[in-house]
A and B are shown apart, each in its own frame.
Chain A
Amino acid sequence: QSALTQPASVSGSPGQSITISCTGTSSDVGGYNYVSWYQQHPGKAPKLMIYDVSNRPSGVSTRFSGSKSGNTASLTISGLQAEDEADYYCSSYTSSNTPYVFGTGTKVTVL
Protein backbone atom coordinates (compact mmCIF):
# COMPACT_ATOMS: atom_id res chain seq x y z
CA GLN A 1 0.00 0.00 0.00
CA SER A 2 1.61 3.27 -1.08
CA ALA A 3 1.34 6.44 0.96
CA LEU A 4 -1.26 8.97 -0.06
CA THR A 5 0.24 11.90 -1.97
CA GLN A 6 0.38 15.36 -0.39
CA PRO A 7 2.34 18.47 -1.39
CA ALA A 8 5.55 18.76 0.59
CA SER A 9 4.85 22.33 1.61
CA VAL A 10 2.18 25.01 1.51
CA SER A 11 2.51 28.56 2.75
CA GLY A 12 0.30 31.57 3.27
CA SER A 13 0.11 34.91 5.01
CA PRO A 14 -1.88 35.49 8.19
CA GLY A 15 -5.57 35.76 7.40
CA GLN A 16 -5.32 33.97 4.07
CA SER A 17 -6.80 30.58 3.21
CA ILE A 18 -4.77 27.59 2.12
CA THR A 19 -5.75 24.16 0.85
CA ILE A 20 -3.81 20.92 1.21
CA SER A 21 -4.60 18.05 -1.16
CA CYS A 22 -4.38 14.33 -0.46
CA THR A 23 -4.51 12.04 -3.47
CA GLY A 24 -5.10 8.32 -3.28
CA THR A 25 -6.97 5.71 -5.27
CA SER A 26 -10.40 4.16 -5.49
CA SER A 27 -9.18 1.57 -2.95
CA ASP A 28 -8.69 4.15 -0.23
CA VAL A 29 -9.65 7.85 -0.44
CA GLY A 30 -12.10 7.35 -3.29
CA GLY A 31 -13.69 4.23 -1.88
CA TYR A 32 -14.44 5.21 1.70
CA ASN A 33 -15.52 8.24 3.68
CA TYR A 34 -12.92 7.41 6.35
CA VAL A 35 -10.53 10.23 5.49
CA SER A 36 -8.96 12.05 8.42
CA TRP A 37 -6.56 14.94 8.85
CA TYR A 38 -3.98 15.39 11.62
CA GLN A 39 -1.95 18.38 12.79
CA GLN A 40 1.47 17.76 14.30
CA HIS A 41 3.65 20.36 15.94
CA PRO A 42 7.37 19.59 16.39
CA GLY A 43 8.02 17.07 19.12
CA LYS A 44 4.31 16.51 19.74
CA ALA A 45 1.86 13.74 19.00
CA PRO A 46 -0.53 14.22 16.07
CA LYS A 47 -3.92 15.77 16.78
CA LEU A 48 -7.13 14.89 14.95
CA MET A 49 -8.49 17.91 13.06
CA ILE A 50 -11.00 16.39 10.62
CA TYR A 51 -12.60 12.93 10.48
CA ASP A 52 -14.91 11.14 8.05
CA VAL A 53 -13.90 13.59 5.29
CA SER A 54 -15.51 16.73 6.67
CA ASN A 55 -16.37 16.41 10.36
CA ARG A 56 -14.63 18.44 13.06
CA PRO A 57 -14.05 16.99 16.53
CA SER A 58 -15.23 19.03 19.45
CA GLY A 59 -12.77 21.82 20.22
CA VAL A 60 -11.26 22.12 16.75
CA SER A 61 -11.56 25.58 15.22
CA THR A 62 -14.20 26.12 12.53
CA ARG A 63 -11.38 27.56 10.41
CA PHE A 64 -10.52 23.97 9.52
CA SER A 65 -12.69 22.22 6.94
CA GLY A 66 -12.45 19.08 4.83
CA SER A 67 -13.88 17.81 1.56
CA LYS A 68 -13.42 15.07 -1.01
CA SER A 69 -13.83 14.72 -4.76
CA GLY A 70 -13.12 11.39 -6.36
CA ASN A 71 -9.76 10.07 -5.19
CA THR A 72 -8.61 13.41 -3.75
CA ALA A 73 -9.39 14.80 -0.32
CA SER A 74 -8.64 18.36 0.76
CA LEU A 75 -8.08 20.26 3.98
CA THR A 76 -8.72 24.00 3.95
CA ILE A 77 -7.47 26.32 6.66
CA SER A 78 -9.13 29.72 6.51
CA GLY A 79 -8.02 32.83 8.36
CA LEU A 80 -4.50 31.42 8.68
CA GLN A 81 -2.87 32.05 12.06
CA ALA A 82 0.68 31.68 13.32
CA GLU A 83 -0.35 28.72 15.50
CA ASP A 84 -1.43 26.82 12.38
CA GLU A 85 2.21 26.43 11.37
CA ALA A 86 2.75 22.66 11.65
CA ASP A 87 2.90 19.43 9.69
CA TYR A 88 -0.39 18.04 8.41
CA TYR A 89 -1.12 14.44 7.48
CA CYS A 90 -4.13 12.87 5.83
CA SER A 91 -5.10 9.26 6.36
CA SER A 92 -7.59 6.80 4.95
CA TYR A 93 -8.99 3.37 5.59
CA THR A 94 -8.17 1.06 2.67
CA SER A 95 -9.48 -2.15 1.19
CA SER A 96 -6.03 -3.71 1.06
CA ASN A 97 -4.62 -6.17 3.61
CA THR A 98 -2.86 -3.20 5.17
CA PRO A 99 -6.06 -1.39 6.10
CA TYR A 100 -4.75 2.02 7.07
CA VAL A 101 -2.53 4.47 5.20
CA PHE A 102 -1.15 7.93 5.88
CA GLY A 103 -0.28 10.72 3.51
CA THR A 104 3.27 11.88 2.87
CA GLY A 105 2.74 14.98 5.00
CA THR A 106 2.62 18.72 4.28
CA LYS A 107 4.55 21.41 6.10
CA VAL A 108 2.44 24.54 6.49
CA THR A 109 4.35 27.78 6.87
CA VAL A 110 2.75 31.04 7.94
CA LEU A 111 4.69 33.82 6.28
Chain B
Amino acid sequence: QVQLVESGGGVVQPGRSLRLSCATSGFTFSSYGMHWVRQAPGKGLEWVAVIWYDGSNKFYADSVKGRFTISRDNSKNTLYLQMNSLRAEDTAVYYCARRLHTIDYWGQGTLVTVSS
Protein backbone atom coordinates (compact mmCIF):
# COMPACT_ATOMS: atom_id res chain seq x y z
CA GLN B 1 0.00 0.00 0.00
CA VAL B 2 1.05 3.61 -0.51
CA GLN B 3 3.09 4.94 2.39
CA LEU B 4 4.58 8.39 2.96
CA VAL B 5 6.65 8.85 6.13
CA GLU B 6 7.98 12.28 7.04
CA SER B 7 10.91 12.88 9.37
CA GLY B 8 13.28 15.64 10.39
CA GLY B 9 10.96 17.92 12.31
CA GLY B 10 11.81 19.42 15.67
CA VAL B 11 12.46 22.64 17.55
CA VAL B 12 14.75 25.14 15.83
CA GLN B 13 15.73 28.73 16.56
CA PRO B 14 14.67 31.56 14.24
CA GLY B 15 17.11 32.05 11.39
CA ARG B 16 18.38 28.49 11.49
CA SER B 17 17.87 25.67 8.98
CA LEU B 18 16.17 22.29 8.94
CA ARG B 19 15.78 19.55 6.33
CA LEU B 20 12.68 17.41 6.16
CA SER B 21 12.56 14.02 4.47
CA CYS B 22 9.67 11.96 3.17
CA ALA B 23 10.37 8.27 2.60
CA THR B 24 7.91 6.62 0.25
CA SER B 25 6.92 3.06 -0.62
CA GLY B 26 4.15 1.11 -2.29
CA PHE B 27 4.18 3.00 -5.58
CA THR B 28 6.53 4.05 -8.38
CA PHE B 29 7.88 7.24 -6.82
CA SER B 30 9.60 8.40 -10.02
CA SER B 31 6.24 8.59 -11.82
CA TYR B 32 4.58 11.10 -9.49
CA GLY B 33 4.77 14.78 -8.77
CA MET B 34 5.07 15.46 -5.04
CA HIS B 35 4.05 18.30 -2.72
CA TRP B 36 4.81 19.71 0.69
CA VAL B 37 1.80 21.13 2.53
CA ARG B 38 1.83 22.65 5.99
CA GLN B 39 -0.68 23.38 8.71
CA ALA B 40 0.03 25.85 11.49
CA PRO B 41 -1.46 24.99 14.90
CA GLY B 42 -5.23 25.49 14.78
CA LYS B 43 -5.10 26.80 11.21
CA GLY B 44 -5.94 25.56 7.74
CA LEU B 45 -3.89 23.79 5.10
CA GLU B 46 -1.30 25.83 3.22
CA TRP B 47 0.34 24.56 0.06
CA VAL B 48 4.13 25.02 0.26
CA ALA B 49 5.88 23.54 -2.77
CA VAL B 50 5.62 21.04 -5.61
CA ILE B 51 8.18 19.16 -7.69
CA TRP B 52 7.57 17.39 -10.97
CA TYR B 53 8.07 13.61 -11.19
CA ASP B 54 11.54 14.03 -12.71
CA GLY B 55 12.54 17.14 -10.76
CA SER B 56 12.35 19.28 -13.90
CA ASN B 57 9.97 21.84 -12.44
CA LYS B 58 9.60 23.26 -8.95
CA PHE B 59 7.17 25.85 -7.65
CA TYR B 60 6.84 27.53 -4.27
CA ALA B 61 4.33 29.50 -2.25
CA ASP B 62 5.24 33.18 -2.01
CA SER B 63 5.61 32.80 1.76
CA VAL B 64 8.60 30.43 1.38
CA LYS B 65 10.09 31.42 -1.96
CA GLY B 66 13.82 32.03 -1.70
CA ARG B 67 14.05 30.28 1.69
CA PHE B 68 12.79 26.75 1.06
CA THR B 69 13.98 24.25 -1.56
CA ILE B 70 12.12 21.13 -2.61
CA SER B 71 14.09 18.23 -4.07
CA ARG B 72 13.86 14.51 -4.63
CA ASP B 73 16.04 11.44 -5.03
CA ASN B 74 14.22 8.97 -7.24
CA SER B 75 16.86 6.32 -6.58
CA LYS B 76 15.97 6.48 -2.87
CA ASN B 77 12.21 7.08 -3.30
CA THR B 78 12.58 10.11 -1.05
CA LEU B 79 11.34 13.69 -1.11
CA TYR B 80 13.08 16.53 0.71
CA LEU B 81 12.38 20.05 1.90
CA GLN B 82 15.36 22.20 2.83
CA MET B 83 14.17 25.07 5.01
CA ASN B 84 16.51 28.01 5.59
CA SER B 85 16.10 31.31 7.44
CA LEU B 86 13.25 29.87 9.46
CA ARG B 87 10.72 32.21 11.05
CA ALA B 88 8.22 31.81 13.86
CA GLU B 89 5.43 31.79 11.27
CA ASP B 90 6.91 28.65 9.71
CA THR B 91 5.83 26.69 12.80
CA ALA B 92 3.51 23.97 11.52
CA VAL B 93 2.95 20.31 10.82
CA TYR B 94 4.54 19.60 7.46
CA TYR B 95 2.96 16.95 5.27
CA CYS B 96 4.36 15.38 2.13
CA ALA B 97 1.70 14.46 -0.39
CA ARG B 98 1.49 12.63 -3.68
CA ARG B 99 0.31 13.50 -7.18
CA LEU B 100 0.50 16.69 -9.15
CA HIS B 101 -3.00 17.95 -9.98
CA THR B 102 -4.88 16.09 -7.24
CA ILE B 103 -3.24 15.14 -3.96
CA ASP B 104 -4.40 11.59 -3.29
CA TYR B 105 -2.17 10.39 -0.44
CA TRP B 106 -0.71 12.21 2.55
CA GLY B 107 1.92 11.35 5.10
CA GLN B 108 1.22 11.59 8.82
CA GLY B 109 3.15 14.86 9.10
CA THR B 110 6.15 16.09 11.05
CA LEU B 111 6.01 19.04 13.45
CA VAL B 112 8.41 21.95 13.00
CA THR B 113 8.54 24.49 15.82
CA VAL B 114 10.51 27.69 15.31
CA SER B 115 11.19 29.28 18.66
CA SER B 116 14.02 30.82 20.62
Contact = CB atoms under 8 A, between A and B. Distances in A.
Q: Which of A40, A48, A97 lies at the interface centre, i.e. has the most chain B CB atoms within 10 A of its CB?
A: A48
Contacts of A30: none
A101 B59 CA distance: 12
A52 interface: yes
Contact of B44 (A34, A36, A105): A105
A64 interface: no
B50 to A, nearest CB: 6
B106 A98 contact: no
Contact of B45 (A52, A89, A99): A89
Interface residues of B, number: 21
A36 B45 contact: no
A52 B103 CA distance: 11
B50 A100 contact: yes
Given A45-B108, A89-B44, A104-B44, A99 B50 contact: yes
Interface of B: 35, 37, 44-47, 50, 59-62, 95, 101-109
10 closest Cβ contacts across the A-B interface? A105-B44, A45-B106, A102-B45, A34-B101, A100-B47, A51-B102, A93-B101, A36-B102, A48-B104, A89-B45
